[in-house]
Amino acid sequence: MINRLDQNVAQLVLDYGSERAREIVGPRYRALVDIANEVLTDERQQIGISYSGFCLTSLPHKRLSDSAVWQRKGHKVTLLVEPGVMRSKGRTVLYGVPFGARARMILLYLQTQAIRTNCREIELGRSMRTWMERMGIAIGGETTRALREQAARISACSLKFFWEGDGAEGWTRGGIVSSGLRFKSVVDDDDQGKLWDDRVVLDETFWRALKDHPVPLQEAAIRALAHRSLALDVYIWLAWRCHEIKGPTDISWISLDAQFNTTGRPLKYFKPLFTDALRAAMAAYPDCRLDVEDRGITLRPSKPPVLKLIT
């Protein structure tokens, strides 16, 4: 479980600096020190955005069969994602549900830019490539292939959020994007480093929901967790839940398993995976306050990762 040392990694960095903190914690926790240091030394203070529904549910971490439907239940919300079809080179192709860290990074970029510009039509061009590289995702080789695949899956899939309580109803079935997000197959110097079409248009239903319920995140934290899809999900969840709650809130291991366990493995195997992800997420969110116990975790009201919506 998470002990006192885990929850004070950021304080160690503040007190002793990152190099000394890495010596103090030893090999097991050095990656946490690096994550905390990335966030604490961030001078740009740029902000990322996620829709609140994605704070409580998430996409799969691993590839599903292309025909599989994805369903994930979170706190008072259920996400349903269905694979879609697209026309490619004169034929109809089935694209499965988007998955993994690359899909999450594409979605975070689209949501951030839409809120930043207050427009569901998002200019891409070189800007998305630049953002990915700033997030530590080097473009080329296997990364390019993965981004191309996830972009196609995001474009093709349909999704629906079912909200519970307060008379809430689910979305009308829609998608994430209504047009664009086609990945270019050839990139050269004349193309100014573009990877995508010049623009993408978010689905109207998704855009309205995002505009009504945006959750600000620290871009430095996204960068530090860019290659850890489960830790990124946990960070985004904590960023919303710990700010939204009014008092100590208990979350059972069964609830955590239902929301975050995408492996299908028994709870006893999920716990250590989640605990490692929670450590990384807390290192990226130094103001987060929570306790881990045998029955689950207790979230405590915390300052949000960022105080302004957009800078």
Q: What are the pLDDT tens digits along the chain (311 aa)?
A: 444 445 578 889 999 999 999 999 888 899 999 999 999 999 888 899 999 999 999 999 999 999 999 999 888 888 999 998 877 677 888 899 999 999 999 899 899 999 999 999 887 666 777 788 888 887 777 887 888 888 888 888 888 888 886 555 555 556 787 765 655 544 443 444 455 556 788 988 889 989 999 999 999 999 999 999 999 999 999 999 998 999 999 999 999 998 998 878 899 999 999 999 999 999 999 999 999 988 999 999 999 998 766 54
Distance CA 225, CA 229 (A): 7
Q: Which residues pair with 113 in a beta bridge?
A: none
Alpha helices in 83-162 (DSSP H): 100-117, 126-134, 142-156
Phi and psi dihedrals of 84, rounded to 5? -130, 175
User: What pLDDT shows up at residue 187?
Assistant: 46
Q: Give the residue among 294, 303, 289, 305 at the shortest CA–CA distance from 249.
A: 289
pTM equals: 0.87
Ordered alpha helix ranges (H), 261-301: 267-284
